[in-house]
Amino acid sequence: MLFNLLTIAFIVTLLIALNALYVAGEFAMVSSRKTRIRQSAKGGNRMARMLLPVLEDTSRLDRYIAGSQVGITLSSISLGIYGQNQLSPMVQRLMERLPVESAPWLGNLIAGGFSATAVLVLLTTLQVVLGELVPKSLAVQYPERVALATMIPMKISAEYILKPLIMILNGSGELIMRLLGLHLHSDHAHVHSPEEIEILVGESHRGGLIDAEERLLLHNAFRIGELSAHDVMVPRTRLVTASVDTSPADALALAAESSFTRIPIYEEDIDHIIGFVHLKDLLRLVRDEREGTLAEILRPVPHVPETAPATEIWNRLNEEHAYLAVVFDEYGGTAGLITQEDLIEELFGELQDEFDDELALVKMQEHGRFVLRGDVPIDYLNDMLGLSLPDEVAHSIGGLILNELGRLPTVGDQTKIGDITLTVESVNRRSVREVSLLVPERQRDTLPDDEATQRGPATPDK
């Protein structure tokens, strides 16, 4: 009797362990990062060298996952059949001893029904807890380690023991899909979409794995692919330009006053920019005290449309060894100027040098109040503060205020958009230079810290 019980316990444990092995192997393989496995393989780990080709070949990975599913199914069915056949009679014999003198048949009926139910509940509990939940949790928490530990039994199962059954079942599944007019794509990649990666980045930030600056850098890296020249450029109203007929001395004085090292040069008007002059070329020309013209030191400048993607502009500037490009609108006129620094700042945030205005991009103050520059992009502000300010009619927060006011702004002007109050703090001729923004109290718990607000995308400050 004791030997029989030990045998039953051993076989039940073995079947649950097999189920746990396949569950852990499946979840570990789909959760493992190829970069970490590749690093371990380069370090000489034999299991990693075996696992890496599986992760890089989607058809092999699908075959291993199918092997896991077959293994889980077979072990679960075997556990149910064996457990009921071996344990139910034992429990039933115990139940039949219940004192039911007036109706012995009732005792037999109760014993049979109870024994089957009791064994089912017991085996299901063991299977779910020990064979499913525990191995799944371990595999999700330590995917690479579990994947390496289960590599050999998974390989033996998928490529040898269960291979014929996997081929039959996969073939049957593909046949049914074809009959239904559907097609299986075995070449799909087990990768994350950009949206999913951004969700993972947010979760990693909330879990303390990456800080606010790292999160913002990753966010900007995904966002830059959506930007166009219009989003990044310095608008024409803020350009410092000179006519090709300007004397070198006057152009040098203009460069000194503006603190720019490159001055766009135009013929007739600003809509016909033909190149730019560099400060060092101007200095040489003036130093030599000879009669020269800006045309002698003129350097070519590429022209790009407003709709050109920011990434394409970066590639073109590199290919042509150019630092800046003129942006033209749909009518062929000059819309603005874009530089390599503007593009870099879209990724790393505002770069300050000795000539830059020290006015902070966004400065967090007390009680949900922010002070920000008027040229802060609305979409960046929405992303950073979790707001929903409209960005259809204006690109910057200053432009939004101008649109709401319908006139030139003055210091102290206020406008309310939803629950957000915007106040003009300072102006620069016809544009808004500085704005204060008040966030409602119910939204303040989700606001970022002050450090996170100091970095962001570039704004037209050049």
- In three-state secondary structure terms, 428 is strand
Phi then psi for residue 358, to 5 deg, are -85, 5
Question: Which range is most confident: 17-21, 181-185, 397-401, 425-429?
Answer: 17-21
- Residue type for position 415: T
What percentage of the chain has pLDDT greater than the value 90? 39
Hey, which residues does 396 pair with through a beta bridge?
377
Q: What is the DSSP string of 146-185?
A: HHHHTHHHHHHIIIIISHHHHHHHHHHHHHHHHHTT----
Query: What's the pLDDT score for residue 446?
Result: 53
Looking at the chain, the domain(s) classified CATH 3.10.580.10 span 229-348
> What's the mean pLDDT when you consider all of the chain?
84
Q: What pTM did the predictor assign? A: 0.54
**Which CATH architecture describes the domain 229-348?**
Roll (3.10)
Query: How many Å is the Cα radius of gyration of the chain?
Result: 35
For 207-232, what is the mean pLDDT?
83
User: pLDDT-based confidence at 90, cuts 50/70/90?
Assistant: confident
Q: State the CB neighbour count (10 A cutoff) for residue 128.
A: 12
Question: How, if at all, do strands 303-305 and 324-328 pair?
Answer: parallel
Looking at the chain, the domain(s) classified CATH 3.30.465.10 span 362-453
Question: Which range is most confident: 166-175, 246-255, 392-401?
Answer: 246-255
CATH topology of domain 362-453: 3.30.465
